[in-house]
Amino acid sequence: MALKVHIAGKLVDKDDARISVFDHGLLYGDGVFEGIRSYRGTVFRLESHLRRLYESAKAICLEIPMTIEAMADAVYETLRANQIQDAYIRLVVTRGSGTLGLDPNRCGHPQVIIIADRISLYPAEFYDKGLEIVTVSTIRNHSAALSPRIKSLNYLNNILAKIEGLKAGCVEALMLNSKGEVAECTGDNIFLVSRGRLLTPPIDAGILDGITRQVVIDLAREVDWTVLEIPLTKHDVYIADECFLTGTAAEVIPVVKVDNRTIGEGVPGPHTRELMDRFRQETLSGSRE
């Protein structure tokens, strides 16, 4: 069965899903997106993802031409059309077709695209044995120039860091902010376990306010773990007992080496494994939000 894509208000075959070459999403990265997961046919944290999508759009003065409720219905319609229970869903909203110039007022109707397909970001062995990552020289965009809370179509900052990490032989890379503090990885948030406490950079470190990040924080606090959102440095990473990453596609994945330095015992630690298990249970709870 050909994959169906929801575009311009209707479902079409993947090969027929097209946008104009004058779309400002293509020309300038002018637009916003969300990556979402469904488990057993239920979209995980859909309300939170849609809220962030619409907030990102509002922040760049982009009016999404449908209500949040209609967008939620379209997501489920796309899932059903593709007969996929466990899917990765990509929502894309572009500024729309315009002219060869930056002026967004010269664009037409914003374009809404919904893709539902399968994804496998990392091999299963990485979840069993842990990732090795490297700190890259590409710093995270300065939050005073572009808010990291806007999930925009322009991901060049992350892509450059990803390229640097891949050239170093790592599938993921750690980015620092302009102050030299730990920010996030190219596609994931980062957590440390140190002396029984769960540590993660605060939002004002220049990070995306990750949905999975918040789920993990909530899960940890439910069992009375101490969770601190505080500025971190590479020193904190190197001396941590455990390290793991979180993201919609990655879910919760352990890290056992950073910059060729072994973290803790060099294997996924007990706190990480417990959160991995509890997160998997959370995704199967059957709740839309």
Nearest 5°: phi and psi at 192?
-125, 150
pLDDT one-digit tens code per residue, 194-203: 999 999 999 9
- The distance from CA 54 to its chain's CA centroid, rounded to whole angstroms, is 16
- pLDDT of 190: 98
- DSSP conformational letter for 139: P
Q: What is the dihedral of CA 56, 179, 213, 170, to 10 degrees?
A: 110
Which amino acid, one-letter code, is at 35? G
What spatial distance separates the first Cα and last Cα of the chain, rounded to whole Å?
30
Mean pLDDT of 161-183: 98
- Judge whether residue 183 has pLDDT over 70: yes
How many CB atoms are located within 10 Å of the residue 169 CB? 9
Mean pLDDT of 272-278: 98
Global pTM reads 0.95
The mean predicted confidence, pLDDT, of the chain is 96
Which amino acid, one-letter code, is at 188? D
Element (H, E) at 159: helix 156-167
For residue 105, with 0-12 CB atoms within 10 Å meaning exposed, 13-18 middle and 19 or more buried, which class applies? exposed
Nearest 5°: phi and psi at 148?
-70, -10
The C-alpha angle with vertex 60 and arms to 57 and 65, in degrees rounded to 5, equals: 40
- Read off the pLDDT band of 286 (50, 70, 90): low
Which amino acid, one-letter code, is at 50? L
How far apart, in whole angstroms, are the C-alpha atoms of residue 37 and residue 32? 17
pLDDT one-digit tens code per residue, 102-154: 999 999 899 999 999 998 879 999 999 999 999 999 999 999 999 999 999 99
Dihedral sign (CA 232, 175, 154, 92): negative
Of the candidates 10, 129, 151, 179, the residue annotated as catalytic is: 151
Q: Would you say domain 4-117 falls under CATH 3.30.470.10?
A: yes
Token pair recorded at residue 242: 């455990």
Enumerate the domain spans of the chain: 4-117, 124-283
Q: What percent of the chain has pLDDT over 90?
A: 93
- Judge whether residue 287 has pLDDT over 60: no
pLDDT one-digit tens code per residue, 71-102: 999 999 999 999 999 999 999 999 999 999 99
Active site residue 257: no
- Read off the pLDDT band of 289 (50, 70, 90): low
Q: Given the structure tokens 């309300």, which residue do they identify?
A: 47
The CATH number fitting domain 124-283, selected from 3.40.50.800, 1.10.3720.10, 2.60.40.10, 3.20.10.10:
3.20.10.10
pLDDT one-digit tens code per residue, 34-64: 999 999 999 999 999 999 999 999 999 999 9
Mean pLDDT of 206-214: 96
- pLDDT of 284: 87
